[in-house]
Structure 1
């Protein structure tokens, strides 16, 4: 039993644990001890994974994309495995590339850098604005349609992650909206989402722009974020961002 287990690939172990963690939706939640124990096991496995385990060779540093770099996607994705419970793959970002601010509706996620460095900025929507969008001022002024798409928000964290860092974790309630920027060269990370994106199930990806509002509350710096002086406005997918695909060279997953 021991030799067989020792030969199991790291990515197979991660996929198996991801399935155990997310396979029963009714048991998924931060108040369920079994779920939290399984999630912690998954985080521990992810913390140990390296590019060599996925047979991915770190890309050499290249010059930053220069418009119009439409011939080469700034970001590519290697699909590894997907079930109804979770999806797993690797995102590769070129020097200077970003995955714009986007959400993961009703989803959990884990991101583990396997080479390079990323900066991740995480936001949360607030439950409700102080008095609706009418109580704040934007420069330039917004048209009514733009105001209707505004959501009060808070910046939860900005952090840099390398292959030596632990996973970055998001939940439906916290750190669910984030932007990912390549820092100091190309980078790649293993990504798990549970459940996967599915527009038919209401899990479509939305993109956002951060707006800073001016108001009386914003003048009181200690209270500014409490009162929601940051707003997210939903926007179309930015034209400078698109994601290509490439083949995954690592060990196969079978569940």
Structure 2
């Protein structure tokens, strides 16, 4: 019998095989994939008993375990040290699903407002653009899978709250700079600041149980400044210990 992670990979292939061609994934296939991803627990990816806080403060703040990748999707697990954050970033033309495996994540989701890009402000090299803070919520291992799309909550920041955390991640199609899908980083910016000093995006307040619905979440317009990858963020790698996936 196929393992749950194998079923997820097969459903992801079925769901995203036409990504970039035609109307994109059907609601039925996307719903079925989200249902499967929402069932994932640590034992399904070989992470039971794996929590291991790095008290020395050395090493990468975030680690990635690669499970599999095809031209239409990638599948893997991110591990965040206590207090670590994946900075506010985008997913150009991509869909994504995220399922917390352990710990608690605070996720802030933004929608880009098209046609609002402006030249770089003084003292900065990146462009600024208008966006809507769609939702801010905390998610744990009992929360359903979060979903982002090419236009809905395509920018987000992910922070570990109260300890280390891990999540399963699907991106469709995968990042590919040669095909226009490079990752860009942002921070909140105030147009009244000549030299912006705002903290990274996601510092807005609010709460929502489901980042796909935004229930109770703020609907707030903000300015985002594109920045280089922050110096205090980098991602290491380690082997995936779970069941093998064939795709």
Q: Which bin holds the TM-score, normalised by the shorter protein?
A: 0.7 to 0.9
Q: Tell me, yes or no, if structure 1 residue 36 matches structure 2 residue 30.
A: no
Residue matched to 2:138: 160
Structure whose CA Rg is larger: 1
Q: Tell me, yes or no, if structure 1 residue 235 matches structure 2 residue 214.
A: no
Q: Distance in 1 between matches of 2:6 and 2:219?
A: 43
Q: Tell me, yes or no, if structure 1 residue 197 matches structure 2 residue 175.
A: yes
Deviation, structure 1 residue 124: 1.3
**Matched pairs, number:** 222
Deviation, structure 1 residue 142: 3.4
In 1, are the aligned partners of 2:118 and 2:127 still within 8 Å (CA)?
no
In 2, are the aligned partners of 1:65 and 1:97 still within 8 Å (CA)?
no
1:53-94: CA deviation from partner (whole Å, max 9, x where unpaired): 11113544637775xx4xx01100000000001000000001
Residue matched to 2:12: 18
TM-score, with normalisation over the residues of structure 2? 0.83
Q: Residue 122 of structure 2: which of 123, 136, 143 is its match?
A: 143
Flag the structure with higher helix content: 1
Moved over 2 A (4+): 25-29, 57-66, 212-215, 225-228
Residue matched to 2:92: 105
Residue matched to 2:77: 90
Deviation, structure 1 residue 24: 1.5
1:211-240: CA deviation from partner (whole Å, max 9, x where unpaired): 13459xxxxxxxxx9894x11111000000
Q: Which residues of structure 2 form unaligned runs of 5+?
A: 194-217
In 2, are the aligned partners of 1:64 and 1:94 still within 8 Å (CA)?
no
Deviation, structure 1 residue 145: 5.5
1:144-188: CA deviation from partner (whole Å, max 9, x where unpaired): 764x60101111000111110001100000100000000111100
RMSD: 2.4
Closer, same or farther: CA 55–142 of 1 in aligned 2, 3 Å: same
Moved more, 54-63 or 101-110: 54-63
Match of 2:152, SS? coil
In 1, are the aligned partners of 2:135 and 2:219 still within 8 Å (CA)?
no
Q: Tell me, yes or no, if structure 1 residue 169 matches structure 2 residue 147.
A: yes
Q: Which residues of structure 1 form unaligned runs of 5+?
A: 1-6, 135-140, 216-224
Deviation, structure 1 residue 39: 0.3
TM-score, with normalisation over the residues of structure 1? 0.80
Match of 1:232, SS? strand
Q: Distance in 2 between matches of 1:75 and 1:236?
A: 17
